[in-house]
Amino acid sequence: MHLLALLTGIILLHAVNGSPQPSAPSPTGSSSFSKTTKYPLPNLGNVAVHDPNILRHEGAYWLFKGGVHLPMYTSESLDGPWTPLGTVLDGPSAIPKQNRSRPWAPTVVAWNATFYCFYSISKAGSRNSAVGVATATHLEAGSWSDHGALINTGQGNGSEIYPYTVSNAIDPAFITDQSTGQPYLLYGSYWHGIYLVPLAADLLSVVQEEPERQNATANLVYVPDEQVKPVEGSFMSYRDPYYYAWFSHGKCCGFQNGFPAVGKEYSIRVGRSKDVQGPFVDKDGRQLTDGGGTVVYGSNHGTVYAPGGVGILSGADGESDVLYYHYLNTSIGFSDTDAQLGWNYLDYKDGWPVAVSGDNSTGPSESSGVAFGPDYTLHVFSFIFVWGYLWLHS
């Protein structure tokens, strides 16, 4: 019977040691994290990323993120695994501003048989920023040409022209007018919010109108009544008959030293319009330039914190649209490098997007966004087998 006790102890010890361990201690400020179940847990992208951008091309997914020289990846599935391909830029950006080696928030689009990567050059708290652009004919590292600054704010060529005199040139995104084919660039952060400006046909310059005729430049999102105006990270999608202006609202990062009040962290918001230039309104009819914005995805379940950096993959052949974003998992950590890729399908109710749970390619435990406990089934059967064997031979 001593042998039985010994084997029992070994089995139980193995069961305990087989439990998954968190990669970081649980934060002490748990009251800062919303436990709402209003939003579904994310499907896991299984890659660390901040401000993700995903392009679907030739049956695969191509992911771009902010970082040294703009890292790029590819995968057959949004769940990964993601294969690193190198970087968009071969070295520092051609833009002579701070953080040239570490651009932010890229957006890659295919246009007239060419790929365009719009990217940001800036630093936190500064309006001396720029949106740059690089081009390639193939989605490969080493094949991109950097064309430098498309727009400047704070300093640089064109920074003295409205709306660059009042805005911050970061977080670029792209949309075309469905009726005219006119391409537009979205950009902006804090200060005077998010803008839409028309691009030339080659996407390498902005169409500048006469000062008295600036009706093609639109202020899409603004917070007029608060000193701090935490709107940024815009994206625009189209689903007939509406254009949807997406953006991140709230505090994005820097949580190592504390957390804002619940609801003041990043959340993903939206407004809609039948005109690409707006005005955009939220579900309550409030204009986005008056501080409006319907929350589509926010912190939830005490696990998902500060989701933002939003993008939309439009469904093809009857598939659902996909909402993707980065978020912080409260069991992992709160630095920018801890941010994870998450995604959900979208339903539309009365023309308003709603994030829904579930996906078509992974099992429940893979798509939950939260760690599951160990499965003790094998341990129990092992114990029964050993106990029975020893009982029969005692």
Ramachandran angles phi, psi of 176, nearest 5°: -120, 145
- What one-character-per-residue DSSP string does 256-318 give? GG--PSTTSB-EEEEEEESSTT---B-TTS-BGGGT--EEEE--BTTTEEEEEEEEEE---TT
> What is the number of other CB atoms lying within 10 angstroms of the CB of residue 212?
6
Q: What are phi and psi of 362, to 5 degrees?
A: -130, 155
Q: At 75, list the tokens.
A: 């995968």
356's CB contacts (< 8 A; 6+ apart) are 40, 344, 345, 346, 347
Residue 257 is encoded by which pair of tokens?
């030293």
**Which of the following is catalytic: 51, 171, 265, 359?**
51
Cβ-based neighbours of 335, under 8 Å, separated by 6 or more: 253, 256
263: left (phi over 0), alpha (psi -120 to 50) or beta: left
Intra-chain end-to-end CA distance of the chain, in Å:
8
Q: Is 333 left (phi over 0), alpha (psi -120 to 50) or beta?
A: left
- Residue 323 sits at φ, ψ, to 5 deg, of -95, 120
Which is it for strands 267-273 and 242-249: parallel, antiparallel or unpaired?
Answer: antiparallel
Contact 153, 128 (CB under 8 A): yes
Three-class secondary structure of residue 394 per DSSP: coil
Report the 10 Å Cβ neighbour count for 143: 15
Among this protein's residues, is 232 annotated catalytic? yes
Token pair of 190 as six digits: 């804090």
Instruction: Tell me whether strands 53-57 and 231-239 are parallel, antiparallel or unpaired.
Output: unpaired
Q: Catalytic pick from 232, 265, 282, 359?
A: 232
Helix, strand, coil percentages for the chain (3-state, nearest 5)? 10, 35, 50
Q: Catalytic amino acids? A: 51, 232
